[in-house]
Amino acid sequence: MERCSWANVSELDQKYHDEEWGVPVHDDQQLFEMLILEGAQAGLSWTTILKKREGYREAFDKFHIETVAAYDEKKIAELLENPAIVRNKLKVNGTVINAKLVLEIQKEFGSFNEYIWQFVGGKSIINHWETLADVPSSTPESDAMSKALKKKGFKFVGTTICYAYMQATGMVNDHLTSCFRYGVDVSS
């Protein structure tokens, strides 16, 4: 069974690729989780983040947005001592800030889903890449998302992170044409 070449690093990568990557996500809590994990990955490998994913879920109260938004300095200090996550002060603080901003977006737009999916017109973009080298690291859509999120005050939302986020949540389906997941109907 052929899969996208990046997914052959570990069993965790394969499982993530085969079951999640490119599948549309419309649940606010899952969208928030992936935004945080993609930001945590900055400067690290995705395999590292997958290995720490359960630790993140436990440390950040299963990414319950309201709970994370209410974290105080004591909780942040505890998180910075937790070896189950990436203990980067900017990333941990950014998670709390981003949770607060997601709550604001929910009030304004009804849901984070409604807001974030507008950058792809509410529908998955299905690409037809033949090689990993063909896949861009950013697009006009990820540029627009990054710019809008930064304007609202979000942290760790550069255009490359936003594009990876779009891939992770199925806003963009970038399975290679040779991959067994290519052409599988995962439309939103």
46 included as an active-site residue: yes
Instruction: Name the catalytic one among 2, 6, 11, 16.
Output: 16
Would you give the end-to-end CA distance of the chain in angstroms? 25
- Contact of 24 with 117, CB cutoff 8 Å: no
HSE-CB for 68 with a 13 A CA cutoff: 27
> Residue 126 contacts by C-beta under 8 Å, 6 or more apart in sequence?
173, 187
Q: What is the 3-state secondary structure (H, E, C) of 111-127?
A: CHHHHHHHHHCCCCEEC
130 included as an active-site residue: no
Separation between Cα atoms, residue 128 and residue 95, nearest integer Å: 33
Instruction: Name the catalytic one among 46, 71, 115, 117.
Output: 46
Separation between Cα atoms, residue 116 and residue 105, nearest integer Å: 9
Instruction: Name the catalytic one among 38, 56, 117, 141.
Output: 38
129 included as an active-site residue: no
Q: Which residues are catalytic?
A: 16, 38, 46
